[in-house]
């Protein structure tokens, strides 16, 4: 059974209040909901001051308040408590506006059963806790993001800049302080570049917006950014996150492509065109002089008929051209046709031919008048353009993988897939430099027949990969079997039959972090663009590795922070034991026994973490009790007992402001409450007492009774068990007593 959830229900209709209570009762959930009902907003606000509630059910139509103003007044007083709005049958639009104004959820009266209501309450509490934790982590996260290779800025909806990292300032050509001093609603550059419209669209739709924008930096440099806006909540306030990446080089490459397309169109205009005539009945071809040049054949050696024409066509294209000629002979009008021919120097040229069939007076096809043009340059340019577009698309896919995924294994496999596909090589792998910077170790590979390379450990300076890393340059080797290489490569070659090798160092921020290697089983003849793209892929690999490393470091920092929290708590508990000498070792004993009891009860691992922290800090409030009372060996006076009893309230006051300890408050605050309601500090009774505190109360008394004290010797186990059994239903929860006896056995 989970700890009870304290809910405040502000509703002026008693009937609706009864329905909600009955639905919660009938739900039969293991989660206990303690519902406090008031019929006026002012009463509800008073309850929020004096009582701790974990969620609020709110009707917006109250006698003393109406509409969204009701919600705003509640949120203004208790922004940390989630609010679920209860609306009428026809007020879904009101519910949606309430969520936009800060409510966690809205439910329609008459359409909610107990289970759905409990789930909505739990979700709202969890979501609010997450929002508060995100707010607590904002400053820490901002420091981490300063080293991000992406420009990151956060803004209020009103335009004020809350944070910016160094990379953003560098790209825009200013300082972090300069960015923070700017309001984007007042920047002309934003409105001119389209950033302003993009931000407004994200704010209005609450959805991610993205675009490429062109701006001029403060230094007058023209740059292109890929900008993305998304809204998020922090500490209850909606904010705007802007991420920018410099895509200036990509845009320049696109401009180069467009220029090539323009030149290609111009080349088509001024290109040489040959003409030809085919006499269909006699099967005679006549060529213009340009046609002979296009086909690289002399008039004397050319057989001027269909067979002679087809003999000039590249063998792979000949079947298609034959079908084309059949259509012409039958009198069908044909579309243009591209085919290839071999020149005498072995060069393969692309030819495009088009024309029309002429008919005689009887409708019989007699002539085909056609033209032919050498489109080799255009064809090669198209191939190159397609290849460059594929390269850009590949880089884009890699960028998206890096941005959307922090799993280095997935990212490297995606990158190696693009390496193999775009460079058309048989195998590729990435070696990473070890922390000592002396050895290259296998990280990922693709296309290998065996797994011998996965045990790779290459010393810097040795083998081809080691040379690439040490010399910080591309290393290439052809005819590998005839050249010396390291023992590792020798082992790989024995099974792989590789012929060509290329290794490129992975460099980021001036440091070599690994090597990208590609292998091929036949001789490669790479052109300059191939080499350039290999370097580009190596750059992407370096970015991916750096990005994943930054994320891993962030996770390590979070783990270290959590460990520091727990170490601090344990330090506090040891300090309390040292101060209260008569209970030395008491805290660790009761913590261990309480954890065993809680596991038997069925608490989750996350709940056990909070129970452990609460048990370690159960007597933290004694820090507020004077030594002459805390350490007094004789029985306390009535006045001194009253002061001592305040330590539970002191614990609550001390721990409540600490966000990560909020879920651990049950034991320090409530472990002196009694089942019959005679405990302190709040005189809680029965199941009003949190379950963790009920478990701890039995363990605390057991340890106290079986330990020596200055004013009495330790009881025997039999005496202590008898006393605990006698207090079942008075001091202790009977269910917990039964569980304790089962565990103690």
State the pLDDT confidence band at 134, using cuts at 50, 70 and 90: low
Check residue 463 and give its pLDDT: 81
Choose among 665, 664, 666, 627: nearest CA to 644: 627
Query: How far, in Å, CA of 431 to CA of 453, rounded?
Result: 10
Q: Across residues 670-681, what is the average pLDDT?
A: 92
Q: Record the pTM.
A: 0.35
% of the chain exceeding 70 in pLDDT: 84
Domains with residue ranges and CATH for the chain? 5-136 (3.40.50.2300), 146-246 (3.30.450.20), 266-374 (3.30.450.20), 382-542 (3.30.450.40), 580-744 (1.10.3210.10)
Burial class (CB in 10 A: 0-12, 13-18, 19+), 327: middle
Cα–Cα distances in Å, from 670 out to 96, 640, 674, 687? 38, 20, 9, 12
pLDDT (0 to 100) of residue 714: 87
Band the pLDDT of 732: cuts 50, 70, 90: very high
Q: What is the dihedral angle through the alpha carbons of 120, 124, 126, 129, rounded to the nearest 10 degrees?
A: -170
CB 720 within 8 A of CB 702: yes
Q: Which residue has the higher pLDDT, 273 or 329?
A: 329
Q: What is the mean pLDDT of the chain?
A: 82
Return the pLDDT at 672: 92
Tell me the pLDDT band of 214, cut-offs 50, 70 and 90: confident
Q: How far is CA 246 from CA 85, 149, 682, in A?
A: 44, 10, 60
| Token couple for 345 | 């120097």
Report CA 509 to chain centroid distance, whole Å. Answer: 24
More confident residue, 664 or 708: 664
Give yes or no for residue 78 having a pLDDT over 90: no
Least confident span in 346-350, 526-530, 734-738: 526-530
Q: Compute CA distances 519 → 381, 426, 443, 515, 523, whole Å.
A: 27, 6, 16, 13, 10
pLDDT at 93 over 90: no
Instruction: Quote the pLDDT of residue 164.
Output: 86
Q: Return the SS3 of 526.
A: coil
**pLDDT mean over 438-447:** 85
pLDDT at 555 over 70: no
User: Is residue 465 predicted with pLDDT exceeding 90?
Assistant: no
Range in 156-160, 374-378, 434-438, 509-513 the model is least confident about: 434-438
Residue 282, pLDDT > 50, answer: yes
Give the span between the Cα atoms of 592 and 584, in whole angstroms.
Answer: 15
DSSP class of residue 36? E
Q: Which whole-number Å values give the CA distances from 441 to 445, 488, 516, in the listed order?
A: 12, 12, 12
User: What DSSP element (H or E) covers 164?
Assistant: strand 161-164
| Whether residue 729 has pLDDT greater than 80 | yes
State the pLDDT at residue 554.
Answer: 53
**Which range in 207-216, 260-269, 430-439, 477-486 is most confidently predicted, on average pLDDT?**
207-216
189-216 mean pLDDT: 88
Mean pLDDT is lowest, of 98-102, 262-266, 330-334, for 262-266
pLDDT for res 730: 93
Taking only the tens place, the pLDDT of each residue in 502-554 is 889 988 888 888 888 888 888 877 777 788 878 888 887 787 777 767 656 55
pLDDT at 142: 58
Separation CA 179–CA 120 (nearest Å): 40
- The answer to whether the Cα torsion of 519, 522, 524, 530 is positive or negative is negative
- What percentage of residues in the chain have a pLDDT greater than 90? 17
The predicted-structure confidence for 95-115, as pLDDT tens digits, reads as follows 888 888 888 888 888 777 778
Q: Give the pLDDT score at 126.
A: 83
Name the DSSP letter for residue 35. E
pLDDT for position 580? 59
């Amino acid at each position: 059974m989970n700890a009870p959830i304290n809910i405040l229900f502000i509703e002026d209709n008693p009937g609706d209040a009864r329905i909600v209570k009955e639905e919660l009762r009938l739900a039969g959930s293991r989660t206990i909901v303690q519902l406090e009902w008031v019929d006026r907003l002012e009463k509800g606000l008073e309850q929020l001051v004096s009582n701790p509630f974990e969620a609020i059910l709110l009707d917006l139509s109250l006698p003393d308040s109406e509409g969204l103003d009701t919600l705003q007044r509640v949120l203004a007083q208790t922004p940390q408590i989630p609010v679920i709005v209860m609306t009428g049958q026809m007020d879904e639009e009101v519910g949606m506006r309430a969520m936009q104004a800060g409510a966690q959820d809205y439910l329609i009266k008459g359409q909610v059963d107990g289970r759905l209501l409990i789930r909505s309450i739990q979700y709202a509490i969890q979501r609010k806790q997450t929002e508060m934790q995100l707010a607590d982590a904002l400053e820490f996260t901002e420091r981490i993001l300063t080293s991000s290779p992406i420009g990151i800025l956060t803004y209020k909806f009103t335009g004020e800049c809350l944070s910016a990292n160094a990379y953003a300032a560098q790209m825009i050509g200013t300082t972090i302080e300069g960015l923070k001093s700017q309001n984007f609603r007042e920047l002309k550059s934003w409105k001119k570049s389209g950033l302003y419209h993009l931000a407004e669209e994200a704010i209005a739709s609450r959805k991610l917006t993205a675009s490429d924008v062109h701006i001029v930096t403060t230094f007058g440099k023209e740059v292109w950014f890929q900008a993305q806006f998304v809204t998020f909540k922090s500490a209850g306030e909606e904010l705007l996150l802007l991420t920018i990446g410099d895509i200036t080089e990509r845009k320049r490459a696109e401009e180069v492509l467009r220029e090539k397309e323009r030149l290609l169109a111009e080349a088509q205009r001024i290109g040489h065109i040959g003409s030809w005539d085919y006499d269909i009945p006699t099967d005679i071809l006549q060529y213009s002089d340009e046609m002979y040049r296009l086909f690289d054949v002399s008039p004397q050696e050319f057989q001027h008929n269909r067979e002679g024409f087809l003999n000039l066509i590249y063998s792979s294209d000949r079947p298609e051209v034959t079908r084309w000629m059949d259509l012409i002979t039958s009198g069908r009008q044909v579309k243009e046709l591209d085919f290839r021919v071999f020149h005498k120097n072995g060069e393969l040229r692309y030819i495009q031919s088009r024309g029309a069939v002429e008919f005689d007076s009887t409708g019989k096809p007699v002539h085909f008048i056609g033209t032919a043009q050498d489109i080799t340059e255009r064809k090669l340019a198209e191939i190159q353009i397609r290849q460059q577009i594929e390269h850009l698309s590949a880089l884009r896919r890699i960028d998206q993988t890096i941005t959307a995924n922090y799993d280095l294994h997935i990212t490297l496999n995606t990158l190696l897939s693009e390496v193999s596909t775009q460079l058309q090589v048989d195998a590729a792998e990435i070696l990473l430099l070890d922390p000592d910077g002396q050895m290259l170790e296998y990280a990922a590979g693709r296309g290998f027949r065996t797994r011998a390379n996965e045990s790779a450990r290459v010393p810097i300076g040795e083998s081809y990969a080691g040379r690439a890393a040490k010399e910080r340059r591309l290393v290439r080797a052809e005819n590998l079997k005839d050249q010396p290489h390291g023992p590792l490569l020798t082992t790989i070659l024995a099974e792989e039959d590789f012929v060509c090798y290329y290794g490129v160092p992975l460099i980021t921020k001036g440091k070599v972090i690994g090597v990208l290697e590609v292998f091929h089983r036949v001789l490669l003849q790479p052109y300059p663009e191939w080499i350039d793209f290999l370097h580009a892929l190596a750059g992407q690999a370096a970015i991916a590795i750096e990005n994943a490393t930054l994320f891993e470091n962030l996770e390590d920092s979070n783990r270290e922070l959590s460990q520091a929290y727990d170490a601090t708590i344990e330090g506090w508990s040891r300090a309390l034991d040292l101060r209260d000498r008569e209970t030395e070792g008491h805290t660790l004993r009761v913590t261990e026994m309480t954890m065993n009891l809680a596991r038997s009860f069925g608490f989750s691992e996350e709940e056990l973490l909070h129970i452990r922290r609460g048990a370690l800090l159960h007597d933290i409030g004694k820090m507020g009790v004077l030594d002459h009372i805390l350490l007094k060996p004789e029985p306390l006076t009535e006045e001194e007992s009253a002061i001592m009893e305040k330590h539970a309230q002191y614990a609550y006051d001390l721990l409540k402001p600490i966000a990560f300890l909020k879920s651990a408050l049950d034991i320090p605050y409530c472990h002196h409450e009694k089942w019959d309601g005679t405990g302190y500090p709040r005189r809680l009774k029965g199941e009003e007492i949190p379950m963790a505190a009920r478990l701890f109360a039995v363990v605390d008394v057991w340890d106290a009774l079986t330990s020596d004290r200055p004013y009495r010797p330790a009881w025997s186990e039999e005496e202590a068990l008898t006393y605990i059994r006698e207090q079942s239903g008075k001091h202790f929860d009977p269910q917990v007593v039964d569980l304790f006896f089962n565990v103690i056995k």
